[in-house]
Amino acid sequence: MSDTRRRVKVYTLNEDRQWDDRGTGHVSSSFVERLKGISLLVRAESDGSLLLESKISPNTAYQKQQDTLIVWSEADNYDLALSFQEKAGCDEIWEKICQVQGKDPALDITQDPIDESEEERFEEIPETSHLVELPPCELSRLEEIADLVTSVLSSPIRREKLALALMSEGYIKKLLGLFRVCEDLDNREGLHHLYEIVRGVLFLNKAALFEVMFSDDCIMDVVGCLEYDPALVQPKRHREFLTKTAKFKEVIPITDSELRQKIHQTYRVQYIQDIILPTPSVFEENFLSTLTSFIFFNKVEIVSMLQEDEKFLTEVFAQLTDEATEDSKRRELVNFVKEFCAFSQTLQPQNRDAFFKTLANLGILPALEIVMGMDDLQVRAAATDIFSYLVEFSPSMVREFVMQEPQQTDDDVLLINVVIKQMICDSDPELGGAVQLMGLLRTLIDPENMLASTNKTEKTEFLSFFYKYCMHVLTAPLLANTAHDKNPKDLQEGSTKINPVCPDNFQTAQLLALILELLTFCVEHHTYHIKTYIMNKDLLRRVLVLMNSKHTFLALCALRFMRRIIGLKDEYYNRYIIKGNLFEPVINALLDNGTRYNLLNSAIIELFEFIKVEDIKSLIAHIVDNFYKALESIEYVQTFKGLKGRYEQEKDRQSQRLNRYRRDARSLDEDEELWFNDDDDDDDGEAVEKRMEDDFSDSYGKYMEAKKGAANGANGANNNGKAAAIPPSSPAVTPNNSSTSSVKTVALPSTPVVKTALVGLVDYPDDEDEEEDEEEEEQSPRKRPRLSS
């Protein structure tokens, strides 16, 4: 359907009393058999799917607002709104609704559903009566009017009737005329009644009344009435603030008078809702839903009108980036763009997409690059807020922009580097701005929100860019504050163990904690890039210097960084940690902490507990070999005894595995036979046993390869190295061409009959002593005394 009169946006009110857009489509009204009645149908203009199917119930209260809105409730907490592109379409559907309900289309409201108690209470009111009878609008009757307005708030039907009465007699303007009289006479009692009346009329929650009350000639008097709250000793000076303090600044002159009026109105109504009216109670929270809707749709209209004025926005960005623009002017321009972005949050998704694309085309990101680097704190803060809107809307759009930058600029003025420097140089003692910027950086470098379907290379390209051009800027404060840890002799001269390079300054410590949090995030999500960076820069060693910091939270951040690395169970990382002896600062921190049972103590023990439970063998061997003597006295947890137990189990297992290789007759080949024969030599046997003890984790395979090479070299080129498999009844045979071989030619130890399926050991009487020796060797690791625990 191409008829623009029927083009609508469908909104629903969410739990936070904000309007959510459900899509744009075309509305029609027709009989729906399933619903047994005339219904409103909205089909999406994109794919024709059904966005809305709502039966026009005789008892549902529909409201027509601002000529292009129809609002109603389908259930207790389910409000709907249709926003029409054209007034004619709204009028057409409104007539259909009124026709089904038997109402006069000239009215802007249809009757609320009436429960039985209300029907009984008001059954004396004739059906033909549409109005509540209002007292004459006179000073002497203000108390009576206030009582009437207050009394109807508990009854939906009476609220409707009172709203009709107030509209039909132009009563609002008469009341506001009395306000001016009361104020001239300083009639406090009358002014207090007028406060109750105006507050009550707002709580009637009727858009038609709002249109009158918030018009240019009435709104300041409404604000004036609301100044005279009876609970206050002195009236508030809201009008003075709105007219004198809150100045409307046109950064670029707005030529459209309707747009200017709409901006003024929206600001003032928002002020009434947020500042003047008290926070509604649980029973009043729905009284101002229409006021919220009024502000919401005003903002939608303002953003749409500004966005359509391309000349206006082009001029805004031109002045924003012009070096000749005065600082005060630039501050106003940045604040305007910030508020403009805030208003855009009211737009439906497809319109919000168009809005941010318009800003991107106009050069919002290059402009931010300039203003975020300025000295003015207010400008930087506003620019940060704008940047956060852009990152939350589309991280990919920001990433695409920054990846194009290196071709045309140097590293120092890259947008992401500007952001990082703002984070590093935040002057706020609590680092509020730095925390916000750190969150935005994390969003930008998060692979989870990098597009995979449309651009498969975004993750690879952006991370390569980030580590090439930006990572050194991010880690600069960390490396600078841990730069002099190379000379341990200098550290021993002081009376304390606190490392002099560790930041004692709380603000610096907080900043380093933020950087470590970001680096920890990288360890979790950027496996390859961060691993290369850590090893090239020896970054973990520098981070662990911070274990000496007097700020425990910073030591914990450093520990968390190491814990994430170990948590990956990556042998490349493990070898890096072992080679650099990087457990030493952690264990020193544990020992320096003494008997204090605090978070640092628990976190360090959890690190070792993880290594034990996950059985990370290389780290267990390193810890026990190098640090067990220092740790064995810690007995309030079983973690370190458990590590020693794992170590001993692995040592026994390796020892048994080596002996199994030596005893297993099924897998012997000719080279292994030579090895076994050669092993009769006592010296060789001792060498093998010593090597096994020195390094239990060395693979048996490597040893075998070395042994094979030695045997082959000794046997010569013509020697097959084969000492023929001999049946039990055969005598021992000497291999041919073996005069230079060191292999003994006496009876072989038990060897397999290779060519038969049944494999048995050959038992020679004169081999008993040798077998006994082998049994002793197999048992020896278990007989060897263990390290004391």
Phi, psi angle pair for 393, to nearest 5°: -70, -50
User: Does residue 86 share a domain with residue 16?
Assistant: yes
Provide the residue count of the chain: 789
Spatial contact of 21 and 345, defined as CB atoms under 8 Å apart = no
User: Model confidence over 357-413: pLDDT tens digits?
Assistant: 888 888 898 888 888 888 888 888 899 999 999 999 889 889 888 888 776 666 667
User: Does residue 225 share a domain with residue 173?
Assistant: yes
Q: What is the CATH number of the domain that holds 29?
A: 2.30.29.30
Please check whether residue 193 lies inside any domain of the structure: yes
Domain containing 168 equals: 141-245
Query: Residue 144 CA to chain centroid, in angstroms?
Result: 56
Assess whether pLDDT exceeds 70 at residue 777: no
Q: What is the mean pLDDT of the chain?
A: 77
Q: Examine the fold and report which residue of 196, 223, 245 is the final residue of a domain before the chain moves on.
A: 245
Decide: helix, strand or coil at residue 82.
strand
Please check whether residue 18 lies inside any domain of the structure: yes
Distance in angstroms (rounded) separating the CA atoms of residues 360 and 9: 25
pTM of the model as a whole: 0.61
Please check whether residue 69 lies inside any domain of the structure: yes
For the chain, the domain total comes to 2
Please check whether residue 197 lies inside any domain of the structure: yes
Please check whether residue 163 lies inside any domain of the structure: yes
Distance in angstroms (rounded) separating the CA atoms of residues 430 and 436: 12
User: Does residue 237 share a domain with residue 152?
Assistant: yes
How is residue 265 written in tokens? 């109105």
Assess whether pLDDT exceeds 60 at residue 486: no
Q: Examine the fold and report which residue of 101, 117, 150 is the final residue of a domain before the chain moves on.
A: 101
Q: What percent of the chain has pLDDT over 70?
A: 75
Q: Examine the fold and report which residue of 224, 245, 266 is the final residue of a domain before the chain moves on.
A: 245
Which pLDDT does position 552 carry in this prediction? 92
Q: Considering only CA atoms, which of 162, 167, 172, 175 is closest in space to residue 134? A: 162
Mean pLDDT of 293-314: 86
Distance in angstroms (rounded) separating the CA atoms of residues 391 and 415: 12
Mean pLDDT of 143-153: 89
Please check whether residue 71 lies inside any domain of the structure: yes
The more confidently predicted of residues 754 and 251 is 251
Which pLDDT does position 680 carry in this prediction? 47
Which pLDDT does position 451 carry in this prediction? 67
The answer for residues whose C-beta is within 8 angstroms of residue 253's C-beta and 6 or more apart is: none
User: Does residue 155 share a domain with residue 79?
Assistant: no
Please check whether residue 54 lies inside any domain of the structure: yes
Q: What percent of the chain has pLDDT over 90?
A: 29
The answer for residues whose C-beta is within 8 angstroms of residue 514's C-beta and 6 or more apart is: 423, 431, 434, 435, 438
User: Model confidence over 766-775: pLDDT tens digits?
Assistant: 444 444 444 4
Q: Please tell me which of 17-21, 395-399, 676-680 the model is most confident about, judged by mean pLDDT.
A: 395-399
User: Model confidence over 209-227: pLDDT tens digits?
Assistant: 999 999 999 999 999 999 9
User: Model confidence over 559-586: pLDDT tens digits?
Assistant: 999 999 999 999 999 999 999 999 999 9
Spatial contact of 692 and 655, defined as CB atoms under 8 Å apart = yes
Which pLDDT does position 179 carry in this prediction? 93
Distance in angstroms (rounded) separating the CA atoms of residues 85 and 90: 8
Instruction: Starting at the earlier edge strand, list the strands of the sheet with 62-65.
Output: 50-55, 37-44, 19-32, 7-13, 78-84, 69-75, 62-65
In terms of Cβ atoms closer than 10 Å to its own Cβ (0-12, 13-18, 19+), residue 596 is exposed
How is residue 210 written in tokens? 């709002």
Mean pLDDT of 693-699: 41
Assess whether pLDDT exceeds 80 at residue 415: yes
Which pLDDT does position 742 carry in this prediction? 37
How is residue 37 written in tokens? 């009645």
Assess whether pLDDT exceeds 60 at residue 643: yes
User: Model confidence over 440-453: pLDDT tens digits?
Assistant: 999 999 988 886 55
Which pLDDT does position 49 carry in this prediction? 86
Assess whether pLDDT exceeds 70 at residue 590: yes
User: Does residue 206 share a domain with residue 147?
Assistant: yes
Decide: helix, strand or coil at residue 138.
coil
Which pLDDT does position 193 carry in this prediction? 93
Residue 711: pLDDT band (50, 70, 90) is: very low
Mean pLDDT of 274-278: 83
User: Does residue 146 share a domain with residue 79?
Assistant: no
Which pLDDT does position 165 carry in this prediction? 87
User: Model confidence over 69-123: pLDDT tens digits?
Assistant: 888 887 666 788 898 888 888 988 988 888 888 787 877 777 654 443 444 433 3
Distance in angstroms (rounded) separating the CA atoms of residues 430 and 444: 23
Please check whether residue 16 lies inside any domain of the structure: yes
Phi, psi angle pair for 333, to nearest 5°: -65, -45
Assess whether pLDDT exceeds 60 at residue 258: yes
Assess whether pLDDT exceeds 90 at residue 458: no
Mean pLDDT of 518-522: 95
Residue 109 DSSP code: B
Q: Considering only CA atoms, which of 56, 58, 50 is closest in space to residue 70? A: 56
User: Model confidence over 304-352: pLDDT tens digits?
Assistant: 888 888 788 888 888 888 888 888 888 889 999 998 898 888 887 878 8
Mean pLDDT of 495-518: 74
In terms of Cβ atoms closer than 10 Å to its own Cβ (0-12, 13-18, 19+), residue 12 is middle
Which pLDDT does position 34 carry in this prediction? 78
Decide: helix, strand or coil at residue 81.
strand
How is residue 233 written in tokens? 């000793």
Which pLDDT does position 670 carry in this prediction? 52
Spatial contact of 162 and 204, defined as CB atoms under 8 Å apart = yes
Which pLDDT does position 455 carry in this prediction? 52
**Poorest-confidence range of 57-71, 659-673, 732-746?**
732-746
Spatial contact of 97 and 56, defined as CB atoms under 8 Å apart = yes
Decide: helix, strand or coil at residue 68.
coil
